[in-house]
Structure 1
């Protein structure tokens, strides 16, 4: 019964790409890279975020419009279907070290049994995709009216099943600090508006540098999103931000993607004769942002 709930609306194309169907709508995965800059200024693919692209009879439908059309009684099923879709598509990537971020609305699962069922569905999708749960981060979004205890229980069950947990729009308010303690995330997206305010002065830059270092020391990987201008990437470099995401760096691509060409794995090369090894690792001051995609 659980297997049918995942795969009844899943379709596999000849190239292995997965699509899903819901009524008259076709759902596809658009994957957006999350990148890490090396000490040599090279951008490496560390993770991807799964975004839904919906269409009806060939006409694209904005995601917000599509989800607004889903009846309340179907929302848990569609929420789960989208996660399974992204997991199956990322399983087709040649890179087996890339983490997948998938969105979730834990408030849709109102009982311990419903939460346990959803975690089991994710485990089954991961097994089918050939992915370990440790490569999948479930981004827990908190909506007005959500029960904090339910969200915490969802996070605990994800961790117990070896999945990762992510949170978004972190701005270090009292509520955010409490959410950080309650959900124990492995990844954390900063609020872009809050980051912009901190970038306006040297004091804010220093505070952000300390905060990023503390999060990493505690085992949390922070991410700055919505990077669309070069100064934002430079600010991330100044504060030691490990992970970056945004249209300046890479746009979402509908699966199948060209990530292998855009962000090839670095091949180790011996240092040139007469050059010290530390010179080969010298920091590049000019970033290489990779190929812009559409």
Structure 2
């Protein structure tokens, strides 16, 4: 099976996974688990975020090098290609209950026609892949929106089609409280560097905890990204964050027939329901391994 997405192409391999090409680049999907804290004190996988892993001439390169090589006129097509690749791989590698996070760059949605086309494409891909829209979380990344009104209309249309909305990298310049108020997301993912600064002092951590509580009062779940140390994981749980993501728990893994075995011992659980009130914060009695 092959599928053309603009100048790019997605090809299904014999093992059921898919790769994509864009010019001389070969693109693969890596999924990084997102964990939720459970009553038994053990974090369990509740979702996966799709991340692109490019190579050139048989050598792996960083995503930054790949995206910097893409001219502005091709960025929308590339984002569509990578998102489609992730959804096809989710259909072949993840269980039918697993939640999938995919990215949307808000700077690309410059007018209504672009948003309508992106939504139509999402619906078609999910239909082809057999993915229930309720499994998909659309992450609005930190880039500045070309038009907040157009972005808000697009987000409302995604939500009306059963998709959930997340704001990525909260704490950076454009991912701020104004965007949260405008888009009314289901989930807010806190920026890794911002979290690190907040956790570095008692006053910062108190403010971070208060923000988690405030979002929970509005029915918004929180994800702490970039958790790389055991002490950060302990503080994330203590803050009341619903979910965590980072190297301390699991690194991104390129999809393959054996995908997920490296984190299988951690276990899986359903993604938490949208919070309606702040949950009871608790001191963690467990030790985290790095």
Instruction: Give the TM-score category using the shorter length.
Output: 0.7 to 0.9
* C-alpha separation in 2, matches of 1:72 and 1:173: 21
**Equivalent residues in 2 for 1:155-174 (5 A)?**
155-171=155-171
Deviates more, 1:135-144 or 1:170-179: 170-179
CA contact (8 A) 1:106 1:150 kept: no
Query: Are 1:261 and 2:264 matched, yes or no?
Result: yes
How far did residue 7 of structure 1 move?
11
1:6·1:84 contact (CA, 8 Å) conserved in 2? Answer: no
Identify which range, 198-207 or 12-21, moves more after superposition.
Answer: 198-207
For 1:22 and 1:136, the matched residues in 2 are separated by 25
Unaligned runs of 5+ in 1: 267-282
Corresponding residue SS for 2:285: coil
Hey, what does 2:118 align to over in structure 1? 118
- In structure 2, the residue matched to 1:249 is 249
Q: Work out the CA distance in 1 between the residues paired with 2:243 and 2:19.
A: 28
Structure 2 Cα separation of the partners of residues 77 and 86 of structure 1: 14
* C-alpha contact (below 8 Å) 2:234/2:284 kept by paired residues: no
Matched residue of 2:21: which SS? strand
How far did residue 144 of structure 1 move?
4.2
Runs of 4+ aligned residues of structure 1 deviating over 6 Å after TM superposition are: 172-175
Q: Is the 8 A contact 2:110 2:146 kept in 1?
A: no
How far did residue 94 of structure 1 move? 4.2
Equivalent-residue separation in structure 1 for 2:26 and 2:171 (angstroms): 36
Answer with 81-90 or 256-265: which moved more: 256-265
State the SS of the aligned residue for 1:162. coil
Which 5+ residue runs of structure 2 have no aligned equivalent?
A: 270-282
Please say if 1:238 is aligned against 2:241.
Answer: no
- Aligned CA RMSD, in angstroms, stands at 2.6
Structure 1's 149 and 59: CA in aligned 2 closer, same or farther, altered over 3 A? same
Secondary structure of the 2:16 match is coil
Distance 1:217-1:16 versus aligned 2 partners, 3 A rule: farther
Q: Distance in 1 between matches of 2:49 and 2:80?
A: 15
Q: CA separation in 2, counterparts of 1:184 and 1:49?
A: 21
> What's the CA shift for 1:223?
0.6
Matches within 5 A, 1:119-268: 119-144=119-144, 146-171=146-171, 176-256=176-256, 257-259=259-261, 261-265=264-268
* 189-198 or 17-26: bigger deviation: 189-198
CA contact (8 A) 1:205 1:238 kept: no
Aligned twin of 2:273: none
**1:212 CA displacement:** 1.7
SS in 2 for 1:9: strand
Secondary structure of residue in 2 paired with 1:92: helix
Are 1:100 and 2:103 an aligned pair? no
